[in-house]
């Protein structure tokens, strides 16, 4: 499983676009029902990418969060901040160059970040 996730990617701090693709692959393997990567480089000064993940329940949102942090730590990435773990409906992991948003499906549809940032470039990850 791990080799499939990493295949064709250069996973280091000089290749953040590949790292965000890897995060999407991790989430997909863990059971995410929805995945989207938005390039924010020309839109925000605080981050380059949003990874938007939807999962069917909060047990899965927390499992995806845990797996992402575990796998990225092995590559030398540590989050600056994580929030939303207590409720689990919207977990945000800030890695500075990219921000991971893990939503329960109800919260993802309600907040609809893609609509808010609809002019952003979508990054293909699979």
Asked if pLDDT for residue 71 goes beyond 70, the answer is yes
Tens of pLDDT, residues 72-119:
999 999 999 999 988 999 999 999 999 999 999 899 988 888 887 888
Q: Return the pLDDT at 114.
A: 80
In the chain, the domains with their CATH numbers are 11-114 (3.30.460.10)
What b/e sequence results for 3-36 when a residue is b if at least 16 CB atoms lie within 10 Å of its CB, and e otherwise? eebbeebebeeeebbbbbbbbbbbbbebebebbb
pLDDT exceeds cutoff 80 at 3: no
Give the confidence band of 2 by pLDDT, cuts at 50, 70, 90.
Answer: low
Residue 57 makes CB contacts below 8 A (sequence gap 6+) with: 104
């Amino acid at each position: 499983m791990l080799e499939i996730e990493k295949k064709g990617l250069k996973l280091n701090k000089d290749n953040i676009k590949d790292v965000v693709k890897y995060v999407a692959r991790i989430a997909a393997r863990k059971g995410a029902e929805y995945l989207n990567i938005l390039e924010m480089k020309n839109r925000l000064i605080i981050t380059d990418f949003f990874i938007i993940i939807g999962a069917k329940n909060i047990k899965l949102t927390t499992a995806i969060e845990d797996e992402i942090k575990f796998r990225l730590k092995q590559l030398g990435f540590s989050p600056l901040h994580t929030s939303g773990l207590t409720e689990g409906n919207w977990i945000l992991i800030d890695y500075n160059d990219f921000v991971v948003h893990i939503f329960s499906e109800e919260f993802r549809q309600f907040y609809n970040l893609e609509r808010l940032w609809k002019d952003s470039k979508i990054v293909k990850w699979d």
